[in-house]
């Protein structure tokens, strides 16, 4: 293509994309009008109106998201037909709804990601646009179906992977590679395990798969939403922009420590305690701890009934306990069975003594009338209630577990390992979360507490309704001060009485907010990232939240640090989905340049010799460096790295063992990427626990451009290939 031809094509493409934006603006204006009409509409219940407002607000968000990078490519068939590919689909309403822009998730868009020179899929050309805002800056073409043609998207891909890293993960909607696209569109109803080494894009592939599933199965998935579980809050913040950038918002982001609402994780387990808590064998300990609280009286307990005294003896309590256990009900719900048996025995004995000489069992009416009175007396008897609390107490998961940990006697009674003992029973760790989650089901509901909570919620709703009646004036004033572009609040134009009615009738929170606050919420699909770190008990908690067992599982066994984590995917998922899980791997490293991956691969070969490192798609031309420093020189060397990187465009991080000033542990950088990384004292990281090598491997593979190492002791053998040992801290800055 000559320069003149290119310029003419560029003008044509700019005109076409400008037309797409005109359609987008028109569609946005239409939805905005419908939104306003829904706000002020009559003839429907507030719930119906609220549902319509929510749907239109969601559509507006989707259209706003599409503003950036609306159209990023074009496919030309061998017959000369053009198809434009973008973030959303747009149609020509005046021409039988002919598509003028295809959603990247649509089946007809797949060739944009999968067609190659060897397998062109009836395509002649793939064109990729480079845009800035709404403007097409330029484009690159790839001619398909001829010998010697390259794989798709090299120019766009390399531009993306070489770009400086920002604050969060970006979507890859314009540069999805063929092996990634195959996984994204995989039609599998069970568990999909995606394994890949550092930089292979497994996380972003999983997120794009969620967007694809929401597109193809929206009605089935949207009502329950999607749960994304990551290793730490920093990671979740890093990836949280991807799905919204693809127009999807019904997604809940959590760590494994967030699965029980309201529980605050404040402590960290020893490796041995984490291993014990993560094993399914802990279920026997929990069951034994509950059974230990179902007691028998050491001596008969007298209970006064009218003028006679009846006694709760060990034999009676044993019968009641046996019946309650065999009921199959959770502990707190089985208390009713226990109470019923005890009550029956006490009243039978009391009636026999009260009616001696004048009442027989044949007089059932009198017998039962007398029993009813005695049952009422027992229900109001504080001493009887206190005895029940002693023999079959109402238990909460938090109290049971805290008292178990802080009592050597209770640990022994439950057959637990002494390694679980701790002084502060309520110093919760992430390994406690699945145990508390399990106990919620094992113990069941406290109906008395539930009723109290329901009454409190009712009082709160009434207070909100009263408050709502005074809101309208302030909303109307604010309405007068804001233009259409500045507000999309579903309640701004509702009448005060409607606001009050909404508070009383139904929950007005967004799906993600409601789901995150509800431990019993079930999701239609769950994504688990860094899944190799999850224990058997973690998996039980997650499976409980997705009855359909629809999962996308992402991880790398070679990066496992947790002693309770996975050593085999089959061992973790097969028990829950026998024969319903598939495995896919990613082999290309899009993040880590070859120079850095060579260093990391040498370490991998030492601690996981059977694992093949991913192949880097690029080189950066900058060799990683190392420098030996004294203890006194270390702070200044770190400060020099931080100062130098602050002058550059991009991101950086210092990773090191505990006690290194300004450093974060490698575990907090899992799944993250930075332009530059400084690893401090790798020899100490290696020595820190049984998974120190995996921790160092994670640290070495976070950088996209520059890697430096500072060490006080001898450089670990696996890292002796680092260039410029003894070089100054600025070495390798390029």
Distance between CA 192 and CA 554 in Å, rounded? 8
Instruction: Give me the DSSP letters along 261-294.
Output: TT--------HHHHHHHHSTTHHHHHHHHHHHTS
Residue 201 in marked binding region: yes
Cross-strand partners of 310:
303
Tokens coding 451 = 């009723």
Angle at which helices 447-468 and 496-505 cross, to 10°: 170
> Distance from CA of residue 370 to its chain's centroid?
58
Distance between CA 254 and CA 233 in Å, rounded? 8
In this structure, how many other beta carbons lie within 10 angstroms of the beta carbon of residue 489? 15
- Contact (CB, 8 A) for 347 and 374: yes
Instruction: Give me the DSSP letters along 409-460.
Output: HHHHHTT--GGG--S-TT---GGGHHHHHHHHHHH---HHHHHHHHHHHHHH
- Contact (CB, 8 A) for 420 and 276: yes
Residues 6+ apart with CB under 8 A from 502: 46, 47, 50, 468, 491, 494, 508
Question: Beta strand pairing status for 82-86 and 98-103?
Answer: parallel
In this structure, how many other beta carbons lie within 10 angstroms of the beta carbon of residue 219? 6
HEC readout, 447-507: HHHHHHHHHHHHHHHHHHHHHHCCCHHHHHHHHHHCCHHHCCCCCCCCCHHHHHHHHHHCC
Q: Output helix, strand, coil percentages for the chain, rounded to the nearest 5.
A: 50, 15, 35
Measured distance between the N- and C-terminal CA atoms of the chain, rounded to whole angstroms = 36
DSSP code of 493? T
Closest CA to 628 of 714, 706, 561, 695: 714
Residue 114 in marked binding region: no
Sheet holding 71-77, edge to edge: 90-92, 98-103, 82-86, 71-77, 123-132, 135-143
Closest CA to 664 of 699, 635, 688, 640: 699
Question: Beta strand pairing status for 135-143 and 123-132?
Answer: antiparallel
Closest CA to 547 of 575, 577, 519: 577
DSSP code of 716? P
For the chain, how big is the Rg over CA atoms in Å?
32
Length of the chain: 734
Find the helix or strand (DSSP H, E) in which 375 lies.
helix 364-379
- Contact (CB, 8 A) for 532 and 564: no
Tokens coding 32 = 């905005």
Residue 153 in marked binding region: no
Angle at which helices 433-443 and 397-405 cross, to 10°: 120
Evaluated on CA atoms 115, 120, 123, 126, the torsion sign reads positive
Evaluated on CA atoms 89, 90, 93, 95, the torsion sign reads negative
CA–CA distance from 380 to each of 5, 192, 374 (Å)?
94, 56, 10
Give strand ranges (E) for 78-211: 82-86, 90-92, 98-103, 123-132, 135-143, 191-196
Distance between CA 318 and CA 78 in Å, rounded? 83
Residues 6+ apart with CB under 8 A from 486: none
Residue 199 in marked binding region: yes
**Which residues define the annotated binding site for ATP?**
196-203
**Which residues define the annotated binding site?**
196-203
């Amino acid at each position: 293509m000559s320069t003149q031809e290119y310029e003419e094509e560029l003008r044509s493409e700019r005109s076409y994309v400008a037309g797409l934006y005109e359609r987008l603006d028109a569609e946005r204006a239409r939805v905005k009008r419908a939104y306003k009409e829904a706000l002020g509409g009559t003839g429907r219940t507030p719930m119906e109106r609220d549902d319509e407002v929510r749907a239109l607000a969601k559509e507006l968000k989707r259209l706003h998201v599409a503003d950036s990078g609306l159209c990023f490519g074009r496919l030309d068939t061998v017959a000369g037909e053009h198809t434009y590919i973008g973030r959303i689909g747009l149609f020509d309403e005046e021409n039988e709804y002919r598509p003028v822009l295809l959603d990247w998730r649509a089946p007809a868009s797949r060739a944009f990601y999968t067609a190659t020179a060897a397998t062109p899929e009836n395509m002649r050309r793939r064109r990729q646009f480079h845009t800035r805002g709404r403007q097409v800056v330029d484009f690159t073409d790839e001619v398909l179906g001829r010998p010697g043609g390259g794989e798709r998207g090299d120019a766009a891909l390399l531009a993306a992977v070489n770009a400086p890293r920002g604050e969060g993960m970006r979507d890859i909607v314009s540069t999805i590679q063929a092996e990634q696209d195959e996984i994204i569109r995989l039609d599998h109803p069970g568990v999909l395990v995606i394994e890949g080494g550092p930089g292979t894009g497994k996380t972003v592939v999983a997120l794009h798969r969620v967007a694809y599933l929401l597109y193809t199965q929206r009605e089935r998935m949207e009502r329950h939403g999607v749960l994304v579980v990551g290793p730490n809050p920093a990671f979740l913040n890093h990836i949280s922009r991807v799905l919204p950038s693809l127009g999807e918002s019904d997604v809940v982001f959590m760590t494994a420590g967030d699965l029980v609402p309201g529980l605050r994780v404040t402590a960290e387990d020893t490796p041995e305690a984490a291993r014990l808590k993560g094993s399914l064998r802990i279920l026997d300990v929990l069951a034994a701890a509950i059974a230990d609280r179902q007691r028998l009286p050491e001596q008969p307990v007298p209970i006064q009934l009218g003028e006679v005294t009846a006694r709760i003896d060990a034999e009676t309590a044993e019968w009641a306990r046996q019946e309650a256990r065999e009921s199959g009900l959770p502990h707190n719900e089985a208390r009713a069975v226990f109470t019923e048996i005890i009550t029956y025995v006490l009243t039978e004995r009391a009636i026999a003594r009260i009616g001696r000489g004048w009442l027989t069992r044949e007089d059932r009416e009198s017998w039962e009338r007398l029993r009813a009175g005695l049952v009422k007396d027992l229900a109001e008897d504080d001493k009887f209630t206190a005895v029940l609390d002693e023999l079959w107490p109402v238990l909460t998961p938090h109290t049971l577990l805290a008292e178990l940990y802080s009592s050597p006697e209770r640990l022994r009674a439950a057959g637990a390992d002494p390694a679980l003992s701790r002084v502060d029973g309520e110093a919760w760790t992430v390994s406690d979360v699945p145990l508390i989650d399990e106990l919620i089901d094992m113990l069941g509901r406290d109906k008395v507490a539930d009723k109290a909570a329901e009454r409190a919620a009712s009082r709160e709703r009434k207070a909100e309704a009263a408050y709502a009646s005074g809101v309208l004036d302030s909303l109307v004033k604010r309405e007068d001060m804001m233009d259409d572009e500045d507000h999309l609040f579903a309640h701004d134009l509702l009448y005060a009485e409607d606001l009050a009615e909404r508070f009383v009738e139904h929950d007005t929170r967004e799906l993600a907010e409601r789901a995150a606050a509800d431990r019993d919420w079930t999701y239609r699909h769950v994504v688990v990232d860094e899944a190799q770190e999850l224990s058997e008990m973690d998996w039980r908690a997650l499976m409980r939240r997705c009855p359909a067992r629809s999962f996308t599982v992402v991880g790398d066994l070679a990066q496992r640090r947790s002693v309770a984590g996975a050593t085999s995917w089959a061992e973790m998922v097969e028990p829950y989905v026998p024969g319903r899980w598939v495995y896919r791997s990613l082999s290309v490293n899009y993040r880590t340049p070859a120079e850095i991956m060579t260093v990391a691969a040498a370490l991998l070969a030492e601690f996981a010799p059977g694992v093949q490192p991913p192949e880097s798609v690029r080189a950066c031309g900058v060799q990683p460096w190392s420098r030996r420093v004294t203890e006194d020189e270390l702070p200044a060397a770190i400060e020099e790295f931080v100062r130098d990187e602050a002058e550059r465009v991009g991101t950086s991080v210092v990773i090191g063992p505990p006690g290194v000033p300004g450093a974060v542990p490698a575990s907090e950088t899992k799944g993250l990427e930075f332009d530059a990384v400084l690893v401090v004292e790798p020899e100490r990281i290696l020595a820190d626990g049984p998974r120190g090598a995996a921790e160092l491997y994670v640290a070495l593979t976070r950088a996209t451009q520059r890697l430096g190492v500072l060490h006080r002791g001898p450089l670990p053998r696996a890292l002796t290939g680092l260039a410029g040992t003894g070089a100054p801290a600025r070495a390798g800055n390029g």
